[in-house]
Structure 1
Amino acid sequence: MTTSATEQTTTSAATTTFESAVIFNIAFTTAGFIIFDLIRKKSKRIFEPRTYIIPEEKRSPQVPNGFLKWVKPTLMTPDEELIARVGLDGYMFLRVIRAFMRLFVAFTVIGIGIILPLNHVGQSDQPGLESFTIGNIKDNERLYAHVIACYLFTAAILYMMYHEYYTYIRLRHECLTTPEHRVSARATTILVLGVPRQLNNETDLKNLYNVFPGGVKRIWLNREPTRLIDLTAKRMKALNKLENAETVFLEKYLKYLAKDGGSGQDVENGNKIPTSLRPTHKTIPLIGKKVDSIETYRDEINKLNEEINDQRTKTDTFKQLESAFIQFNDFVGAQLAATSTIPRLTEISRDDVIWENLKVTNPSRVARKIISYTITATLIILWAIPVTFVATISSLSALTSVIPFLKPLVTRLPQSAIGFIQGVLPAIGLALLMVCLPYILRALSKFEGLIRHSDVMLSLQGKYFFFLLFNVLLVTTTVNGAAQAIPAIINNPTSIIKNLAENLPKASTFFLTYVLLSLSTASIEALQVGSLSSYLVTKKFLVKTPRQILHLETTLVYKDWGVTFPPHILIASIGIVYSVIQPLILPFTALHFALFYLAYRYNFLYVYDQIYETNGNLFVHAMEQFFWGIFIFQLTIIGLMFLNDAHIPGVLAVILFIITISTVLGMRAYFQHNPKAEFLPVNLMGVIDMKTNKVIANTDFTKSTSSVTEDEKVDQGSKNKQISENPLTDIDDEYTDPNVVHIKHGDIEKKRGVNAYTHPALIVANPLVWIPQDNTEMYKEEIKGCQDSGLNATSRGAKINEKYKVEVDITKAPNITDEFYVEEAESSDAMKRNTTNGIRRLFSKIW
């Protein structure tokens, strides 16, 4: 080994780089979790909203106060309770994080206990971190251990994936066959695309689909109400302005009364309120006529109401689309129809529909998909340019001999500064480069014409992962390895193979710092930095009306799986690729998943809400993406074996690669065609209880839970008790094993009736104006003014406090949803209604 000054500087800088990254990220992570522990009780809205905002059946119990008192309820909540609260998507996500944590803990034992000493002791004696890499080995006999470790790691991963696949399919079946789900609109309805024009009417479609069990219950022919959508959006904009004007006026009036001389005598004597208090605006900015804002917006809403109501009487004139929602009387009929017809979608929730994409035709979807993937591929390639630049910073010391003008700059800096620049800045820079990507890729996925928001998330998940895989793992590895090898190759061009074999493992230093940076993001996840900042800024400066405040206080954060899953699959891929190259990466990878498991489990239990559900499909996509990490891991080992002239270990690695591909293909075929692994086997559609393997009547499942009598409930409870007291002996089968997690009950769906799959613009009613109360009761005059002009208005659950700020009591707020804004009677029941979901969907358009 050469010991030139440049190489010594590079090695010293690499060690300092690692030390700086460890100190910075461990300190940041520890501080983040401590701060979270100290402030979590100071803002229940941010850190415990699921304990009071969501419906009672989904709520989590209060978290005890005290240092680290949140850890026990977070980790000790049973899986069956967890899945009931967070859904199958959230549960499978947490299972994957936990599975990776367990894998990398086991890999750490092997890597640190066996591989690292083999790399380090009695070999080339490279200084610093390089002495722990596979590049330090000069005795090729030791490389057999690395290949054996590769076999063990691969076997453990494949077993984990098989077990998680099997568990997922069982849980998915249980989810789809719960009594609540079987009678839901989501389970009994399919969306048929590309309906031929001659069949695109209720009569012919009903005749066509009535052959399936139970027959057709209802058909919704999709239309394109573009004009109605525009009018509804304008009305909501005017409503927002009216409520803002009403709130500003009441606040000004209260302040006016509080001033000296503002006793309110002019009001009591029947005189007009000073005109200066009435909000005004110009019809055209700067040059238009000044008008009274409240009266103008009231008139505008009234005119829009009339035009919208008129448009609703002309729905038959709206352009008819080539699609229809078909609801069956029986769950089995919907399942069979979905497998026997032209392109269709099942398990489609009304809230999940992207209505504007229904007008996209099937040929157009194909063209859009080609365009989307072409642009995505181009972005992936072009993004490699800035990624390459960022990656070279982590090899700054090595490049000083190739780029002379860098040498004076680097030599003047202290080692701590070089360590920070190489160890912290590149990882942060790479993370910042990826910040805007999800927005671009999400727009491309939506452009494809996908019908469901959940499908957009799945499409984004695939695009984002391959973006990360190519630019973070492949490009960065290549750039760092080349940067380390270039000086040696320039000095001795004939030894290019040897230099590549020695220097490619040195790229692991960058990924050590990258994984370390991910530890700090776990504390950011727990702290909810983005949500907390957004909430505080919005509450302070951006919301004023009761509607805006209610939306802010009751809309929960949700995870976009398209950008949540890929970074963790990438970390797992990085960990496995460098597991035997640089075993030091293994404990940090295990720590990454341990910290994120803790942070995510807490947030799913107490913070996050999920609007869109894929019934766990995101898990399948994530596992298939991780296959790429396994393949890169094995190909890297094959390359390093042959670069080091270790031909027999190389051949063994090639054999493992072939075995792995065969196993993966076999696993996919098994889970696609095995009777128990089908999407929903016929025997689960209504004649066999999958948890007990007992033959039952189809009507036992399809009977609505709301129609079950108390005697039937008691009888069913007795049957369940007998089953639990006499468990089946086939405990190897997870379908009947009482010791594994099961889904006992599905979500009870909101009943929508004849409007279940009607376009929202066709059914939204005239809006309700929400005005806050004031202690002078001036709000009553404003409500009367709205009612006299033909608008519905209320003041329930909102008031202006002594500091002239609006307060909202979410338990007394009016029942405002995305479908109906009809004023209800002033009853205690109506005042107690929680309007979280409706307000959230309403403001998703406004904001």
Structure 2
Amino acid sequence: MSSNATEQLNTSSATATFESAVIFNIAVTAATFISFDLIRKRIAKVFEPRTYIVPENKRSNPVPSGFLKWLRPTLKTPDEEIVSKAGLDGYMFLRVIRTFMILFTAFTALGIGLILPVNRIGQYDKPGLESFTIGNVKDKERLYAHVVVCYIFTAAILYTMYHEYYTYIRLRNEFLTTPEHRVSARATTILVLGIPRQLNNTEDLKNLFNVFPGGVKRIWINREPARLINLTIKRLKTINKLESAETAFLEKYLKYVVKDGESGQDVEDGNKNPVSLRPTHKTIPLIGKKVDSIETYREEIQKLNEEIKEQRHKTDTFKLLNSAFIQFNDYIGAQLAATLTIPRLTEISREDVIWENLNFTLVFVASISTLSELSKIIPFLTPLVNKLPPSAIGFIQGVLPAIGLAILMVFLPIILRGLVTHSGVMLSLQEKYFFFLLINVLLVTASANGIFQALPSFIQAPTSIVSSLAQNLPLASTFFLTYVLLSLSAAAMEALQIGSLFMYLFTKMFLAKTPRQIFCNETTLIYKDWGVTFPPHILMASIGLVYSVIQPLILPFTALHFALFYLAYRYNFLYVYDQIYETNGDLFIHAMKQFFWGIFVFHLTMIGLMFLNQAFAAGILLIILFVITLGLILGMRHHFQHNPKAEFLPADLLGVIDMKTRKIIIDGNFTKSISTITEDIEYDEKADKEFSGSTSQQISEKPLADIDDEYINPNVVHIKHGDVDKEGNANTYLHPALIIKNPLVWIPQDSTETYKDEVKRCRESGLNATSQGATINKKYKVEVDINKAPNIKDELYVESAESWENTQNVTD
């Protein structure tokens, strides 16, 4: 086959692939959204659980029935309500998706209206999709149009990113200074890591931190109750076994009564229930003694309760960790302490802590990236490291991270093991996962496509490699066009919740048998793992930007990608998702840092193409753009990274100033407007004394130039109310194993009232037991009324070690 015939065949194949992808993905997307619309009201647990499961102050109004009736409430709900329901993380995620949607919609108009005709009309006249790419341009003068568009796109992106950065900081400050948040345990508590052993005691830590405003309220020295942890886990597993045995027995007995009646034969002493219906198991699989499962599990739980009680009297013997939670009386003290204490973490909820990692420090996490420390973790490397010259060690340490990136996902759990919060894991995973995608999806694919396309020409004429790459690198755009198209159906799948729908129905039909299992299946909400949710969209924005000028056809599909995902995510944050871990929007900062790399790849790719096409003047102009962009990005990062408002609240925002009214607050009352503050302002003497005596004693003498009208503009988003996290008590930051309650044994009710005997026997064995909210229906299946069910979700918290001893039995 001739080279021309082969080229024509490849071109036809690429065009057919694109056309098929368009038809297939649009059809699948439309069908999936229609399916979602048809079944969303039939399975409320999957499609609108936030209308009835979450606390009332977090609930959304039910979605109206009818075709496309969900669109209006989804799009018309105020952003302030999104913040209150999805948290600042969820809102900033939606805001990023919406921002990309707006940007790529604008880019589409310019790309399709200007660049596409420049690429196609009167040039090489290549067939198929190639005629729309920059590879079709013959006239070098036309490449200046691409340069101009690169400048316009870059300026629009940088301006938008700066505005979004600024908006994020404003919203974060508003969120952290709401009255609800300022008194919460999250706001008033810091986690200090790497405490020297000689200072790791309550008295010394209190003396050290009492200098901060308000003083120390509580200190929790972290310990590792390894034995106690194992016991509580074993007890919960045994309770699950007991509940399964009790439920199976009651169902069998109910069937026995209905089918055969009570014969009075084959019964236990003092019990009307037939012995043959009692579940049994062997103490050792296959060869052990057969025992009554219910009685055996009761005895095991009773013994475990005694062991747990005994262990809780030995807390002083638990291994002392080099970390502590310190709660202050005033959140100002917590913020100031956090700015001066290294290493430290703020805004940590009890649920966010990875307790087993509290003995690791931030210094440790950073140090494992060096080869010398790695040899300590992997001892067999030590002889090799000792033999290497310093130059070789430096080279390996510099190259090793880049090489390790390719296998990052395999060893990710090991790399993240030193992190002490779940939100920290998500942020770290977010960053690493993005670079994994960037290298493997964008860079490797684009480079491989260009090289392989140019390889035949290079073999025949080695001197033509430069011109061949210039023409063939744009051919990779076909792959990315289909890649973006595939994401459209993924957006529809996000709305339909295929995975959650399948797991819910499968668990309901085959796995959930006991009241506890059914209750958890009916009330557990899914949540987004930001570590794997954010990066694909940043990658998509990077792909759209890199190929925006090379192949303008990618722009409308990229805009549609973000539009559909914005619609799906906005609905799900309002009606479906729960968010367990909160970073106060910090994931937004990570996402913007990642998108910077997409901008750099965009510029470097265009520079390379200009020089490959021997358009040297245009290439130099793009080099200038790259340098300017690099400087602006570094300046932007420096400005926001070192802006104290980006991480901690500065003194002038620690409740001293209301950011909406721009007035000073003294003892909860508004006084002077912040716009009147100047260097020579004279305060009222009485107000000055009151102000000086408060915990917030100083305010900058200069006007707050960075607080502009956006803080008081009613047309922009403001956060009116913070989270509902409680102030906390003496148990808030104790290890869960120290305070876990004696969990309930949840037994379903049956029509023969045999359950009453089972509940009674559990209580006589020293176990908490109840039957409320669960019944066995006429089909011998357990039903649970979630409104009447006991509160089993709080079993990992509430009662202290002392009050646990006095736990009373829960009544029906």
User: TM-score under structure 2 normalisation?
Assistant: 0.88
Q: Which residue of 1 aligns with 2:755?
A: 779
Q: Which residue of 1 aligns with 2:416?
A: 446
Q: Which residue of 1 aligns with 2:735?
A: 759
Q: Which residue of 1 aligns with 2:380?
A: none
Q: Which residue of 1 aligns with 2:574?
A: 605
* Residues 240-285 of structure 1: per-residue CA shift (max 9 Å, x gap): 1001100000000011112145567887996642221000000000
Call closer, same or farther: CA 1:793–1:738 in 2, change over 3 Å: same
Q: Tell me if structure 2 keeps the 8 A contact 1:515–1:588.
A: yes
- DSSP-derived class of the 1:451 partner: coil
Letter in 2 for 1:548: Q
* Residues 719-742 of structure 1: per-residue CA shift (max 9 Å, x gap): xxxxxxxxxx99963112121000
* Residues 187-207 of structure 1: per-residue CA shift (max 9 Å, x gap): 111111111111111111111
Shift of 1:700: 6.3
Shift of 1:488: 2.5
Asked if residue 207 in structure 1 is aligned to residue 207 in structure 2, the reply is: yes
Which among 783, 797, 813 is matched to residue 789 of structure 2?
813
Asked if residue 559 in structure 1 is aligned to residue 528 in structure 2, the reply is: yes
Q: How far apart are the structure 2 equivalents of 1:697 and 1:166?
A: 27
Asked if residue 634 in structure 1 is aligned to residue 595 in structure 2, the reply is: no
Q: How far apart are the structure 1 equivalents of 2:279 and 2:246?
A: 8
Call closer, same or farther: CA 1:276–1:700 in 2, change over 3 Å: farther
Call closer, same or farther: CA 1:674–1:194 in 2, change over 3 Å: closer
Letter in 2 for 1:819: Y
**Structural mapping, 1:391-470, within 5 Å:** 437=409, 440=410, 442-447=412-417, 449-470=418-439
Which among 711, 714, 719 is matched to residue 738 of structure 1?
714
Q: Which residue of 2 aligns with 1:691?
A: 660
Shift of 1:360: 2.5
- DSSP-derived class of the 1:306 partner: helix
Shift of 1:107: 0.3
Q: Which residue of 2 aligns with 1:124?
A: 124
**Structural mapping, 1:193-232, within 5 Å:** 193-232=193-232
Greater CA drift, 655-664 or 330-339 = 330-339
Shift of 1:157: 0.5
Which among 430, 437, 449 is matched to residue 480 of structure 1?
449
Q: Which residue of 2 aligns with 1:74?
A: 74
* Residues 325-358 of structure 1: per-residue CA shift (max 9 Å, x gap): 1111111111111111231111111110000001
Shift of 1:767: 2.0
Aligned residues: 744
Q: Which residue of 1 aligns with 2:687?
A: none
Greater CA drift, 537-546 or 627-636 = 537-546
Shift of 1:689: 1.2
Q: How far apart are the structure 2 equivalents of 1:239 and 1:678?
A: 44
Letter in 2 for 1:204: D
Call closer, same or farther: CA 1:239–1:700 in 2, change over 3 Å: farther
Which among 467, 482, 502 is matched to residue 471 of structure 2?
502
- DSSP-derived class of the 2:761 partner: helix
Letter in 1 for 2:724: I
Q: Which residue of 1 aligns with 2:43?
A: 43
Q: How far apart are the structure 2 equivalents of 1:494 and 1:209?
A: 71
Q: How far apart are the structure 2 equivalents of 1:344 and 1:369?
A: 20
Shift of 1:527: 0.5
- DSSP-derived class of the 2:186 partner: helix
Asked if residue 248 in structure 1 is aligned to residue 248 in structure 2, the reply is: yes
Q: How far apart are the structure 2 equivalents of 1:809 and 1:823?
A: 24
Asked if residue 334 in structure 1 is aligned to residue 312 in structure 2, the reply is: no
Asked if residue 294 in structure 1 is aligned to residue 294 in structure 2, the reply is: yes
Call closer, same or farther: CA 1:347–1:820 in 2, change over 3 Å: closer
Q: How far apart are the structure 2 equivalents of 1:659 and 1:66?
A: 52
> What percentage of residue pairs aligned between the two structures are identical?
72
Q: Which residue of 2 aligns with 1:31?
A: 31
Greater CA drift, 195-204 or 112-121 = 195-204
Q: Which residue of 1 aligns with 2:53?
A: 53
* Residues 614-659 of structure 1: per-residue CA shift (max 9 Å, x gap): 0000000000000000000000110000111111111100000000
Q: Which residue of 1 aligns with 2:673?
A: none
* Residues 368-391 of structure 1: per-residue CA shift (max 9 Å, x gap): 4556999975454369xxxxxxxx
Q: Which residue of 2 aligns with 1:661?
A: 630
Letter in 2 for 1:695: I
Asked if residue 515 in structure 1 is aligned to residue 484 in structure 2, the reply is: yes
Q: Which residue of 2 aligns with 1:407?
A: none
Q: Tell me if structure 1 keeps the 8 A contact 2:772–2:790.
A: yes
Shift of 1:681: 1.5
Asked if residue 381 in structure 1 is aligned to residue 406 in structure 2, the reply is: yes
Q: How far apart are the structure 1 equivalents of 2:50 and 2:264?
A: 45
Shift of 1:824: 6.8
Asked if residue 318 in structure 1 is aligned to residue 318 in structure 2, the reply is: yes
Q: CA RMSD in A?
A: 2.3
- DSSP-derived class of the 2:105 partner: helix
- DSSP-derived class of the 1:470 partner: helix
Q: How far apart are the structure 2 equivalents of 1:673 and 1:269?
A: 77
Structure 1 unaligned spans of 5+: 384-436, 702-728, 828-847
Shift of 1:699: 5.3
Shift of 1:612: 0.1
Call closer, same or farther: CA 1:304–1:578 in 2, change over 3 Å: same
Q: How far apart are the structure 1 equivalents of 2:646 and 2:404?
A: 37
Asked if residue 791 in structure 1 is aligned to residue 773 in structure 2, the reply is: no
Q: Which residue of 1 aligns with 2:88?
A: 88
Shift of 1:288: 0.4
Q: Which residue of 1 aligns with 2:679?
A: none
Call closer, same or farther: CA 1:677–1:282 in 2, change over 3 Å: closer
Call closer, same or farther: CA 1:784–1:484 in 2, change over 3 Å: same
Shift of 1:24: 1.3
Letter in 2 for 1:789: S
Shift of 1:691: 1.5
Q: How far apart are the structure 2 equivalents of 1:300 and 1:700?
A: 59
Q: Tell me if structure 2 keeps the 8 A contact 1:773–1:798.
A: yes
- DSSP-derived class of the 2:537 partner: helix
Q: Which residue of 1 aligns with 2:586?
A: 617
Q: Tell me if structure 1 keeps the 8 A contact 2:183–2:727.
A: no
Asked if residue 681 in structure 1 is aligned to residue 650 in structure 2, the reply is: yes
Q: How far apart are the structure 1 equivalents of 2:563 and 2:362?
A: 44
Shift of 1:751: 4.9
Q: Which residue of 2 aligns with 1:537?
A: 506
Letter in 1 for 2:208: L
Shift of 1:85: 1.1
Call closer, same or farther: CA 1:330–1:644 in 2, change over 3 Å: same
- DSSP-derived class of the 2:358 partner: helix
Q: How far apart are the structure 1 equivalents of 2:542 and 2:111?
A: 16
Q: How far apart are the structure 2 equivalents of 1:307 and 1:583?
A: 69
- DSSP-derived class of the 2:340 partner: coil
* Residues 152-178 of structure 1: per-residue CA shift (max 9 Å, x gap): 000000011011101000000001100
Asked if residue 801 in structure 1 is aligned to residue 801 in structure 2, the reply is: no
Shift of 1:493: 2.5
Call closer, same or farther: CA 1:363–1:164 in 2, change over 3 Å: closer
* Residues 77-127 of structure 1: per-residue CA shift (max 9 Å, x gap): 011111111110000000000000000000000000100000000000100
**Structural mapping, 1:269-280, within 5 Å:** 272-280=272-280
Greater CA drift, 136-145 or 802-811 = 802-811
Letter in 2 for 1:212: F
- DSSP-derived class of the 1:88 partner: helix
Q: Tell me if structure 1 keeps the 8 A contact 2:251–2:776.
A: yes
Letter in 1 for 2:568: A
* Residues 473-513 of structure 1: per-residue CA shift (max 9 Å, x gap): 00000111112212222333321111111111011000000
User: TM-score under structure 1 normalisation?
Assistant: 0.85
Structure 2 unaligned spans of 5+: 378-396, 671-704, 800-806
